[in-house]
């Protein structure tokens, strides 16, 4: 039977690549993001794959609820939720940090993930089935200098993943966390507020992961048999050993 996956942050990077991978794997897709035109372009690229687009900001609880409630019947029974939307905003010592950046990260990466999960879960608990993949980060498992609030937001994703796995156990809902290291996407452009030169330096001198590498992993995880939950995966570029330990060409 065709399964339905809802992917947040499908308009770019890991979410977009995951949409293409799951589309190929035969899923019906609900694609979410704020940039409608990006989602429309992705839906065109997906061709025959059945898609439904939802445009909302994950920080806006009412908008999240309204969007999920607006799903047409054939997209309502979400089998797989990929909680991927999120970003870093800024990279500064805490004492110099911009509280607006802190709000954006805590509201988006943590509360947004909660709002979307809370809105989608009734479709899973009612049917006693489901699979949730939360996109954490290596940054949620080791804190690096100036990463403070972003690292905290991803540490919260790690804690929430474990909490969800415990609470949803009676409902046969698998919950897992994927923790990427450096992936070249729009992530650093967002972190450095459109400074593309600074963003590019993050990935200079080594081969970072591509969004497709993470998408491959997610596709593998969500296509395992029902008795298997790959609960937590750290995926790194071969040149990366820890959050800020990267082998770079001289």
Active-site positions read: 150, 154
Q: Tokens standing for 24?
A: 């190929």
CB 159 within 8 A of CB 113: no
Task: Please list the alpha-helical segments (H only) found in the chain.
Answer: 13-24, 36-46, 61-69, 73-76, 99-105, 113-125, 148-167, 187-191, 196-201, 211-222
Q: What gap in Å lies between CA 196 and CA 210, rounded to an integer? A: 17
Q: Map tokens 């690549």 to a residue.
A: 17
Q: What gap in Å lies between CA 240 and CA 250, rounded to an integer? A: 15
Segment near ligand NDP (CB under 6 A); pick from 20-28, 68-76, 117-125, 185-193: 185-193
Q: 243 contacts which partner out of ligand 8X3, ligand NDP, none, CB within 5 to 8 A by kind?
A: ligand 8X3
Site for ligand 8X3 in 1-40 (CB under 6 A): none
Q: Map tokens 């499908």 to a residue.
A: 10
Site for ligand 8X3 in 153-192 (CB under 6 A): 182
Residue window 107-146: x/- pattern of binding to ligand NDP, with contact defined by CB under 6 A: -x---x----------------------x-x---------
Minimum Å distance from CB 173 to ligand NDP? 21
Q: Tokens standing for 225?
A: 């048999």
Q: 51 contacts which partner out of ligand 8X3, ligand NDP, none, CB within 5 to 8 A by kind?
A: none
C-beta of 45 vs 195, nearer to ligand 8X3: 195
Footprint on this chain of ligand NDP (rule: CB under 6 A) = 8-9, 11-15, 33-35, 38, 57-59, 84-87, 108, 112, 135, 137, 180, 182-183, 185-187, 190, 211
């Amino acid at each position: 039977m065709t399964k339905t996956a809802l992917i947040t942050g499908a308009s770019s990077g890991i979410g977009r690549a995951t949409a293409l991978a799951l589309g190929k794997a035969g899923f019906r897709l609900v694609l979410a993001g704020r940039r409608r035109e990006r989602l429309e372009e992705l839906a065109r690229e997906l061709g025959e794959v059945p898609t439904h687009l939802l445009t909302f900001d994950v920080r806006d609880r009412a908008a999240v609820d309204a969007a999920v409630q607006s799903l047409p019947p054939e997209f309502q029974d979400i089998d797989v939720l990929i909680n991927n939307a999120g970003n870093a905003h800024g990279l500064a010592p805490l004492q110099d940090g911009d509280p607006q950046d802190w709000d954006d990260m805590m509201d988006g990466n943590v509360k947004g993930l909660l709002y979307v999960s809370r809105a989608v879960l009734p479709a899973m608990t009612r049917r006693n089935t489901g699979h949730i993949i939360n996109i954490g980060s290596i940054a949620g498992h080791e804190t690096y200098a100036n990463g403070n609030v972003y690292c905290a937001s991803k540490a919260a994703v790690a804690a929430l993943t474990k909490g969800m796995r415990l609470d949803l156990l009676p409902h046969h809902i698998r919950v897992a966390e994927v923790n990427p290291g450096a992936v070249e996407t729009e992530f650093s452009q967002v972190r450095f507020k459109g400074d593309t030169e600074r963003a590019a330096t993050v990935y200079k001198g080594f081969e970072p992961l591509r969004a497709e590498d993470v998408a491959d992993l997610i596709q593998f995880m969500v296509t395992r048999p029902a008795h298997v939950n790959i609960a937590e995966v750290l995926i790194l570029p071969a040149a990366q050993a820890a959050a800020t330990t990267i082998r770079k060409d001289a």
